[in-house]
A and B are shown apart, each in its own frame.
Chain A
Amino acid sequence: MSQRAPLLDAFLSALVALGLFAPMVGLETTVGVHGIVLVPRPLAVAALVGAVFVLRLAVRLWQARRPPAPAGAGAVRIGRAWAGMGRFLVPVLLAAALLMPWVASRATIDLGVLLLTYVMLGWGLNIVVGLAGLLDLGYVAFYAVGAYAYALIAENTGLGFWSCLPAAGALAALWGITLGFPVLRLRGDYLAIVTLAFGEIIRIVLLNWVSLTGGPNGIAGIPRPTLFGLRFTMTDDPGTFAGFFHLVPSPVQRQMFLYYIILALALLTNWVTLRLRRQPLGRVWEALREDEIACRSLGINITTTKLTAFAVGACFGGFAGAFFATRQGFISPESFTFMESATVLAIVVLGGMGSQLGVVLATLIMIGAPEMFRALADYRMLIFGLALVVMMVLRPRGLVTERKPSVTLGRGAAAIPAALIAEGHG
Chain B
Amino acid sequence: MAAAEALLEVRGLGMRFGGIVALDDVSFTARRGEITAVIGPNGAGKTTAFNCITGFYRPSAGSLQLTHADGRGFALAAMPGHLIARRARVARTFQNIRLFAGMTVLENLLVAQHVPLMAATGLGVLAILGLGRYRAAERHAIAKARLWLERTDLLARADDPAGALPYGAQRRLEIARAMCTDPVLLCLDEPAAGLNPRETAALDALLRGIRDEGCSLLLIEHDMGMVMRVSDHIIVLDHGRKLGDGTPAEIRADPRVIAAYLGEDEEDADHLAPADAP
Contacts and interface: CB of A to CB of B under 8 A. Distances in A.
Interface in A370-419: 403, 405-409, 411, 413-414, 416-417
A286 B103 contact: yes
A279 B127 contact: yes
Contact of A291 (B100, B112, B124, B161): B100
A422 B84 CA distance: 26
A277 to B, nearest CB: 11
A305 to B, nearest CB: 9
B86 interface: yes
A423 to B, nearest CB: 9
Contacts of B230: none
B177 A421 contact: no
Contacts of A300: 82, 111, 114-115
A281, A293, A406, A417 — which one has the most chain B CB atoms within 10 A of its CB?
A281
B107 A420 contact: no
B85 A298 contact: yes
A299 B86 contact: yes
B146 interface: yes
Interface string B85-102: 110000110100011111
A421 B102 contact: yes
A297 interface: yes
A85 to B, nearest CB: 22
B115 A409 contact: no
A392 B9 CA distance: 55
- Chain B, interface SS category: helix
Contacts of A289: 102
Interface in B69-125: 81-86, 91-92, 94, 98-104, 106-107, 110-112, 114-115, 117-118, 121, 124
B80 to A, nearest CB: 8
Contacts of A284: 111, 114, 118
Contacts of A421: 101-102
Contacts of B100: 286-287, 290-291, 294
B92 A297 contact: yes
B104 A279 contact: no
A302 to B, nearest CB: 7
B251 to A, nearest CB: 29
B36 interface: no
Given A280-B114, A286-B103, A409-B146, A296 B128 contact: no
B117 A290 contact: no
Interface residues of A, number: 38
B82 A301 contact: yes
Contact of B85 (A286, A290, A299): A299
B118, B134, B155 — which one has the most chain A CB atoms within 10 A of its CB?
B118
A291 B98 contact: yes
B159 interface: yes
Contact of A405 (B99, B104, B128, B164): B104
B67 to A, nearest CB: 19
Contacts of B102: 286, 289-290, 403, 416, 420-422
Contact of B118 (A280, A286, A296, A407): A280
A297 B91 contact: yes
A37 B47 CA distance: 72
B210 to A, nearest CB: 17
Contact of A275 (B128, B155, B159, B178): B128
B111 A287 contact: yes
B48 interface: no
Nearest to B92: A297
A291 B99 contact: yes
A299 B85 CA distance: 5
B114 A279 contact: no
Contact of B104 (A281, A291, A408, A422): A408
B163 interface: yes
B158 interface: yes
A409 B114 contact: no
Nearest to B118: A280
Contacts of B178: 297-298
Contact of A281 (B115, B124, B146): B124
B128 A272 contact: yes
A417 B160 CA distance: 11
B106 A409 contact: yes
16 contacts: A280-B124, A283-B107, A283-B111, A289-B102, A290-B102, A294-B100, A296-B82, A297-B81, A297-B98, A298-B177, A299-B181, A409-B142, A416-B103, A416-B161, A417-B161, A422-B101
Given A294-B98, A296-B82, A297-B92, 10 more contacts: A280-B117, A284-B114, A287-B107, A290-B99, A293-B94, A295-B111, A297-B94, A299-B86, A406-B107, A407-B110
Interface of A: 272, 275-276, 279-281, 283-284, 286-287, 289-291, 293-302, 308, 403, 405-409, 411, 413-414, 416-417, 420-422
Shortest 9 CB-CB contacts between residues of A and residues of B: A421-B102, A299-B86, A299-B85, A413-B159, A290-B100, A420-B163, A294-B98, A280-B117, A287-B111
